[in-house]
Structure 1
């Protein structure tokens, strides 16, 4: 007796995601650069390349005589404003903001939750190429209020 597995829409989406998911830094970088070009980002005398020193990506000047220029539309900047304008993201309620107030400002919380939301969408996210080039680790503090920094000096 032969059994056939019925594929669901979720299974098919997962297969498509795996097929197009970049696996190397070079593939991630190509995907990101293509995304920037598709959205008319202007970059002159500058290139994005892998950074051996930092283990991620960095901007490098391509001319010693001319200044690098990058013009990015605000529609490509992930921010609390883009979170508010998203049709799929539901901002946290005020009681969540009130609980977090002592550790993190509202814009940072909103942006962080929006990033997690978009990351969970995988390749269906508008931000997917950008999210793929973000570092997976970092050593800077995630959250702090300005008065915490003032008290450290």
Structure 2
């Protein structure tokens, strides 16, 4: 069995890196969507949502960096072009969304997609004995589940 510098199975690590790049592409797309929602939100919930969307895009930006650095730690190369991202991202994208319910619904749909990807990575990282990726995915999942619950509560 061939192993990496981290002592992980090389084939498993390559598969994890591929899936982490998929997550990276989706987070970059989600981040850009959040920026658009932050800029374009209108209505009676403007102040509340404008701040919330900034909080969410700041968190997404931090996660983008964490994912890219994990890919590098696993000796992979993080995707870094918009065309790479748009080719593989599955999170929904919307243009010029200014309605509060539509915006929050878009976030709910995006988080649901991110959670599916993260759970798949968690399963792979567990099988590969990759505790670093496993821990990161567990943290992401628990945070996003709470955000998803809150967004659904806001929607009523």
Give the structure-2-normalised TM-score. 0.25
Counting helix residues as a fraction of each chain, which structure ranks higher? 2
Instruction: Indicate the structure (1 or 2) with the bigger Cα radius of gyration.
Output: 1
Q: Which has the higher contact order (CA 8 A, sep 6+)?
A: 2
Give the structure-1-normalised TM-score. 0.26
Counting strand residues as a fraction of each chain, which structure ranks higher? 1
